[in-house]
Amino acid sequence: MDKFIASHPKSESLFARAQQIIPGGVNSPVRAFRAVGGSPLFISSANGAFVTDVDGREYIDYVGSWGPMILGHAHPDIISAIKSAAERGTSYGAPTELEIELAEEVIDAIPSIEKLRLTSSGTEATMSALRVARGFTGRPKIVKFEGCYHGHGDSLLVRAGSGVATLGLPDSPGVLPQLASATITVPFNDPEALKGVFSEAGDEIAAVIIEPVVGNMGCVPPVEGFLQTVRELTSATGALLIFDEVMTGFRVSRGGAQELYGIKPDMTCLGKIIGGGLPVGAFGGRRDVMDMVAPVGPVYQAGTLSGNPLAVTAGLTALRLLRELNPYDRLNAVTARLVDALLDSARECGIAATANRAGSMFTLFFTDGNVTDWTTANRSDRAVYARYFHACLEQGVYLAPSQFEAGFVSSAHDDSIIDRTIAGARRAMQRTRQV
């Protein structure tokens, strides 16, 4: 492995310094490169489809700040809007017209949302949505799916994916047993298991929360009919269906995964793209459900920086650009071309691999057979992925530092950049085969 890890002296120095004062040297676990080895890259700047590290090396970026940079880094219209907003003040702690305009833009794109409440993160959005669901139904339990990550709220850190899987932690210390016991976990894409849960505890279930396309055990789309079954079971029993579209909202289509698959949830959680690269989250849904939220209803939720004018300005600018440019057909096409080429290079090298894609989200899994749930994703060869990751870095291609994360293509990835990626990834695959 060591011979695959190139030296990045400035990043390595900064990482050593960071570890003295920041847990693990990072402010979010997957950034630490624990799953792939070596020191994380410290980024100094980003523009379009590229990031540049503190050692001055440029990479074609497929992390995209973990999804929000669908228009590319430092889009000039978004940067200009943020600068103008900052000149008017960075935070007011009071309502602004911008918040209304952002909510209207979201509601126009996602018809299942009739009312929307802004938060400062996706974790806040999912925690709040579950509290509202319990308040609305008067029921205690929630259902989530193995490998789905819904933020680091206590009741949701049960068989989560992403960073938890990367670190090998099935749960997190500090989560109270009584909270974990109110969370029922079911395998993703297993309708019969879900039916069994509802037959046993249907009258206790407040909500089912699901990533309609999982992005936190790698990209795993739903099998045909699965989301329909989830919708039918929740409707029949009075449980609410919550789509966690923090990652998929405005990513797989303007109307999110619910538009792509034709499913109408009761509530939706959003983040990432609706902040245009700044921290933001939101939850919304049916009018009667959302009217449970204070100050209209009894379910309390608040946030000092919710609706922050800089974040709302960036998000509103991004959503308006997406509506005007409608880049989704092209994004789908170039992502499909990239994924096909990655699979071809693995086959040429005799390396077992499969791939999943949903819109401009994708993951190359180093495993035989289809990946449809956490069990099949977990069969991936982490060591091969780690070698491939570092070989790609040598070729100037920056992928997620974990087998269990999705990659993202932006509208800034033009055909020439995709061609460069394919050529570099092919050389990286050949180098991976050599060990």
Angle between helix axes 382-394 and 415-433 (nearest 10 degrees) is 130
Amino acid at 17: R
51 phi and psi, to 5 degrees? -120, 150
Q: What pLDDT shows up at residue 155?
A: 66
Q: How far is Cα 30 from Cα 40, in angstroms, rounded to an integer?
A: 10
Q: What pLDDT shows up at residue 161?
A: 45
Amino acid at 387: R
The count of residues in the chain is 435
Both tokens assigned to 100:
């209304």
Q: What angle do CA 354, 6, 421 make, to 5 degrees?
A: 45
56 φ/ψ sector (left φ>0, alpha ψ -120 to 50, else beta): left
User: Which domains, ranges and CATH numbers included, belong to the chain?
Assistant: 2-70+327-433 (3.90.1150.10), 76-325 (3.40.640.10)
Strand 141-145 relative to strand 205-210, pairing: parallel
Q: Residues 315, 102: contact at Cβ < 8 Å?
A: yes
Q: Residues 220, 213: contact at Cβ < 8 Å?
A: yes
Q: How many Å is the maximal CA-CA distance in the chain?
A: 63
Strand 397-398 relative to strand 58-61, pairing: parallel
292 phi and psi, to 5 degrees? -80, -15
CA dihedral 191, 217, 269, 92 (to 10 degrees): 170
Q: How far is CA 109 from CA 168, 274, 408, 430, in A?
A: 38, 12, 21, 43
Both tokens assigned to 129:
């949505």
DSSP string across 71-129: T-BT-HHHHHHHHHHHHT-S--SS--HHHHHHHHHHHHH-TT-SEEEEESSHHHHHHHH
Q: How far is Cα 113 from Cα 420, in angstroms, rounded to an integer?
A: 40
CA dihedral 270, 271, 276, 278 (to 10 degrees): 150
Residues in the chain with pLDDT values less than 50: 160-170
Residue with tokens 């030296």: 7
Q: Residues near 350 by Cβ (< 8 Å), separated by ≥ 6?
A: 433
Q: How far is Cα 37 from Cα 310, in angstroms, rounded to an integer?
A: 36
182 φ/ψ sector (left φ>0, alpha ψ -120 to 50, else beta): alpha
Angle between helix axes 191-201 and 226-237 (nearest 10 degrees) is 10
Q: How far is Cα 421 from Cα 407, in angstroms, rounded to an integer?
A: 13
Burial 72-91 (b: 16+ CB within 10 A, else e): bbebeebeebbeebeeeeee
Q: Residues near 308 by Cβ (< 8 Å), separated by ≥ 6?
A: 90, 91, 120, 278, 279, 280
pLDDT in tens, 177-213: 777 778 899 999 999 999 999 999 999 999 999 999 9
Q: For 190-244, what is the HEC assignment?
A: CHHHHHHHHHHHHHHEEEEEECCCECCCCCECCCCCHHHHHHHHHHHHCCEEEEE
DSSP state of 266: S
Q: What pLDDT shows up at residue 168?
A: 35
Q: How far is CA 351 from CA 10, 60, 78, 254, 368, in A?
A: 33, 23, 41, 36, 9
Please state the separation of Cα 205 from the chain's center in Å: 25
220 phi and psi, to 5 degrees? -130, 105
Question: What are the residue numbers of the active site?
Answer: 149, 244, 272
Q: What pLDDT shows up at residue 269?
A: 98
Q: How far is CA 187 from CA 112, 159, 184, in A?
A: 26, 10, 10
Q: What pLDDT shows up at residue 164?
A: 40
